[in-house]
Amino acid sequence: MGQIIEVKTTKVNKTLIFDLNRSVSGQEGMTFNNISEASLIPDVSGQLALKLFQQIDDIDTIFIQSNMVTINFQRNIGNDTSHVENTLQNFFIFYGEEE
């Protein structure tokens, strides 16, 4: 249940910028510096940041503003951004298709 989020990815050095087809926060934006900060915010942006910190290694900071998610990494992660994209795309999926 839920819909897959469409993601457009831009990579600049150690930063990934994701343009989503729906909002995940308000217009003011919020920066998350670690998993403990993300765990204290019960809204959608906090839950998304928490999930990203839990599933992706080497994240330095996450900035979420409206439909934009910017992730700064501690190292260059190369060209394979599929794991991060998959986490974002499936964020609103509550359970998979029944067989």
Assign residue 51 the CATH number of its domain.
Answer: 3.30.1370.70
The number of folded domains in the chain is 1
Q: How far is CA 40 from CA 18, 21, 68, 76, 85, in A?
A: 23, 26, 21, 28, 24
What counts of helices (H) and strands (E) characterise the chain?
A: 3, 5
Which pLDDT does position 99 carry in this prediction? 45
What range does the domain containing 21 cover?
Answer: 7-89
Distance CA(62)–CA(60), nearest Å, equals 7
- Tell me whether residue 15 is in a domain: yes
Which pLDDT does position 2 carry in this prediction? 76
Which pLDDT does position 93 carry in this prediction? 85
State pLDDT tens for residues 21-71: 999 998 899 999 999 999 999 999 999 999 999 999 999 999 999 999 999
